[in-house]
């Protein structure tokens, strides 16, 4: 007799791409991301020909399964918050009889993450600490003997997060990727010890740098280089984006 479970082929769940396209019209954010942190590279070096910029899908593919994957520094999976804030404008042109604002230009953005647990590799990659290990770099995380904290700073990192948003129409959890192309950490490590208060959390904050990527134009016939801080991407688009120029 055939196993009846093998005949169960349908449910009310839909494909991820269709669900993402519907969800992004009306969505809720209810949780944090898990994230991989990579050493950032200039996006103009990711795809040939020289000087071309990659789109969001190709850049994520480069880090997660391409040559850039060797630059993985740490994995964040116990975040309490991951907030992105913007400020601006940095310049305002005014004029006319009432000196009304005529042009606004310039924004800055920050990513502020808070981890519930200490993570030696994250402290080394994002907080300016120096992780000393008895093993090679590939096995360093399993052989940590000390973390040293001094006046050191770290360079830009690419942070790629996995999370889900809620589709307001259906209540479904829809996967999404968030890519912060160039995150420049503050390289500050605060260690709070308090027996009476709440458990210590670990802050990993920094600035988001403007990165030029390719975005499709209004007609959908070509791509335009445009500066962005970060992108929210349908995971189904990543493999397709890896082959686009």
pLDDT digits (tens, 9 = 90+) for 55-105: 898 899 889 888 788 899 999 999 999 999 999 999 999 999 999 999 999
**What pLDDT sits at residue 5?**
60
Q: Would residue 4 count as lying in a domain?
A: no
Structural domain including 200 reads: 14-90+98-241
- As a whole number of angstroms, the distance between CA 113 and CA 131 comes to 20
Q: Would residue 5 count as lying in a domain?
A: no
Query: Residues 124-159: pLDDT tens digits?
Result: 999 999 999 876 655 555 688 899 999 999 999 999
**What pLDDT sits at residue 218?**
85
Q: Would residue 1 count as lying in a domain?
A: no
Question: pTM higher than 0.85 for the full model?
Answer: yes
Please list the residues that pair with 164 across neighbouring strands. Answer: 175
| Encoded tokens for 115 | 């981890």
Q: Would residue 9 count as lying in a domain?
A: no
Q: Would residue 206 count as lying in a domain?
A: yes
The whole-number average pLDDT for the span 215-236 is: 89
- As a whole number of angstroms, the distance between CA 193 and CA 202 comes to 12
**Total domains present in the chain:** 1
Q: Would residue 163 count as lying in a domain?
A: yes
The whole-number average pLDDT for the span 16-44 is: 88
**What pLDDT sits at residue 47?**
63
Please list the residues that pair with 22 across neighbouring strands. Answer: none
Q: Would residue 68 count as lying in a domain?
A: yes
Tokens 């924004």, located at residue: 107
**What pLDDT sits at residue 216?**
87
Query: Residues 155-211: pLDDT tens digits?
Result: 999 999 999 999 998 888 999 999 999 999 999 999 988 888 788 899 999 999 999
């Amino acid at each position: 007799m055939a196993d009846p479970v093998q005949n169960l082929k349908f449910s009310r769940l839909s494909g991820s791409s269709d669900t993402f396209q519907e969800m992004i019209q009306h969505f809720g954010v209810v949780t944090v991301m898990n994230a991989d942190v990579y050493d950032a590279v200039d996006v103009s070096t990711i795809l040939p020909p020289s000087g071309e910029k990659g789109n969001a899908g190709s850049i994520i593919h480069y880090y997660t399964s391409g040559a850039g994957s060797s630059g993985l520094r740490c994995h964040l999976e116990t975040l309490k918050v991951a907030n992105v804030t913007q400020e601006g404008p940095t310049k305002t042109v005014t004029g006319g009889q009432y000196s009304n604002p005529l042009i606004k230009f310039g924004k800055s953005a920050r990513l502020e993450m808070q981890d519930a647990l200490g993570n030696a590799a994250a402290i080394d990659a994002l907080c300016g600490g120096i992780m000393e290990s008895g093993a090679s770099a590939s096995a360093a995380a399993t052989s940590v003997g000390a973390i040293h904290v001094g006046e050191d700073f770290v360079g830009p990192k690419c942070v790629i997060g996995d999370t889900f948003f809620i589709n307001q129409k259906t209540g479904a959890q829809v996967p999404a990727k968030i890519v912060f192309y160039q995150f420049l950490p503050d390289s500050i490590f605060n260690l709070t010890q308090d027996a009476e208060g709440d458990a210590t959390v670990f802050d990993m904050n920094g600035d988001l740098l403007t990165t030029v990527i390719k975005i499709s134009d209004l007609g959908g016939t070509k791509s335009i280089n445009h500066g962005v801080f970060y992108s929210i991407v349908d995971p189904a688009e990543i493999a397709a984006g890896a082959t686009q120029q």
